[in-house]
Every structure is written in structure tokens, then in C-alpha cells.
Structure 1
Amino acid sequence: MATSVASFIDRRIDSGALPLAVGDLVALSAILTVGVVMHNGVDYLATFTVAWLLTLVPFLIGWAIAGPLIGAYSAGAAESAKAAIPLAVRGWIPAAIIGLGLRWTPLFEGGVALVFAAITLVTGALALGVWRWLYFKIVG
């Protein structure tokens, strides 16, 4: 059992994809922060830092779970934008659903409106796709 779990994880996570992982976290945090600023203003980030960070946490938890399971950090993802972008978008869909689900619970404030869910799905996928496209344009 432990061998099959280790084998599954080994196929899903490759050390060559570490730059993608760092960039993904930055891209998702940035796009979610833009949303916070659009609704609350820039001063909110300094005045209500914990609330701002708690807005990011459910989605970053979702990404930490779904991204690797989908293969967003597999060896194939680290090879080309053609592989990396679809894996990120496919990973973001369940990640966003997990994040929205967490926001629906009493653990996190904010709730879940249909418009918010749609915007989160689209902007998160775009942020990941654009970041990964830029990465492979720069790195090659």
C-alpha cells in the first residue's frame, strides 16, 4: 500500500516543476489580492492583513490538494507550456471548488455567490495560464 501511494506521488510531483509551484502560488495570490483590493481598497491590505490572508487561504489549500493530484507538478508539466497550461487549468477547477467549499463553511468568511464563483474560476485559470505561458517564454 505504502509503495503504491509513494509511486502515485512520485508520478505527480517532480522537482523540476518547483519553479512552476512557486509561480503558481504567486499568481494565485496576486489575482486573489486584486479581487480583495477591488472590493475593499488598497488600505485594506495593511489595515486588515489577517482578513486579507484568510481570503487567500481556502483557495491555496484547494490548490495544494488539487494541483498535485491532477499532475500540475508532474515531469510532463515541467517540460512545456503545451503540457503545463492545461494541467494547471484542469487543476484549478477542483482547487477553486475546494476553496469555495471552504468559504461556504464557518471556518472562513465571505460566503459563496454564483458570480464570485464564476469570476474566481475564470481569473484563477487565466492567472495560472498566463504565468505558465510567460515562464516557458522566458525559460524556454
Structure 2
Amino acid sequence: MASSEESFLARRIDAEAFPLAVVDVLALAAVLTIGVINHNGVEYLSTNTVGWLLTLVPFLVGWAVAGPLVGAYSAGAAESAKAAVPLAVRAWIPGSIIGFALRASPLFSGGFQWTFGVVVLLTGGVSLAVFRWLFFKLRG
């Protein structure tokens, strides 16, 4: 018999939702990269690749933790945009909070400012919603 932890995760992660994970990482990486470019210029991506990637990591870690726990990759999420979009937005709220906490920690530079938090919360949520909606539109 499966443990309650295995049952919980088994209900939250479905292999059919794997393409959504790819879409989500691309969405978050794109919106965060646009922010990096706006603050540092496009040349920063090649002159300070580690700095650029370290900007993405706290939020991708936050998403990797929160997304499955909230059900962003559950069987229902893989069925339609109507199910997938709200799950992504709901998962982004705790995911971004984890990212903010990591950025505010000594593990990452950048710190946390409220304006930054509002911008990342909104743009990340919108990018996840739009990318997931496009995924289902293109998939047909």
C-alpha cells in the first residue's frame, strides 16, 4: 500500500502534464530574463551569464516546489487551459514567495524590495497564464 505522501504526490503529478512544465519554465525564464535585460542591458546575458542565471534560480526553485504541491501538474491541469491556467496562477503565489525568500537570503544577491515583489508576482503570473493558454491553443 502506498504511503500518504506518495498518494499526495501521485495526485499532484501526472506524466501527461510534462509539456506544461516545459512551457512554465520557458515562461518564467522569459519574463525574468526580460527584467534582467531591462535593468542591465542585453550584453549582461553574455558578459555575466552566471549573474543572469542566479537571478532565475530562486524563482525556478520556488516554482519547482510550489507547482507540484498546488497541483499545477495534476491530471486536470493537462486537460484544458480552463483548468491549467488557474492552477498555474495559484501555484505562482507561493512559488514567487519562495523565490523572494531565497533572494532575500544570503544564498543569492539582489535582496527584496516591495516594488520588485509586485512586478515579479504580476508578470510571472501573467506569463504563466499566457504561455499555458497559448500551449492549449496551439495544441488544439
TM over 0.5: yes
Partner of 2:61: 61
What is the aligned partner in structure 2 of residue 8 from structure 1?
Answer: 8
Deviation digits for residues 68-114 of structure 1, max 9, x if unmatched? Answer: 00000000000000000000000000000000000001110001010
In structure 2, the partner of 1:75 is: 75
Q: CA deviation at 1:4?
A: 1.1
Q: How many residues align?
A: 140
1:30 aligns with 2:30: yes
TM-score between the two structures when normalised by the length of structure 1: 0.98
In structure 1, the partner of 2:121 is 121
TM-score using structure 2 length:
0.98
Q: CA deviation at 1:3?
A: 1.5
The amino acid across from 2:137 in the alignment is K
**Residues 128-139 of structure 1: pairs in structure 2 closer than 5 A:** 128-139=128-139
CA offset at residue 2 of structure 1? 5.8
The 1-side partners of 2:105 and 2:20 are apart by: 30
Partner of 1:85: 85
Name the SS for the 1:100 alignment partner: helix
- In the other structure, the counterpart of 1:108 is 108
- The gaps in structure 1 that reach 5 residues or longer are none
Q: Distance in 2 between matches of 1:4 and 1:97?
A: 26
Question: In the TM superposition, what is the alpha-carbon distance from 1:128 to its structure 2 partner?
Answer: 0.2
Corresponding residue number in structure 2 for 1:95: 95
Q: 1-side partners of 2:106 and 2:14: how far apart?
A: 35
Moved over 4 A (4+): none
- Whichever residue aligns with residue 40 of structure 1, its letter is N
Q: Measure the CA separation in 1 of the matches of 2:2 and 2:65.
A: 19
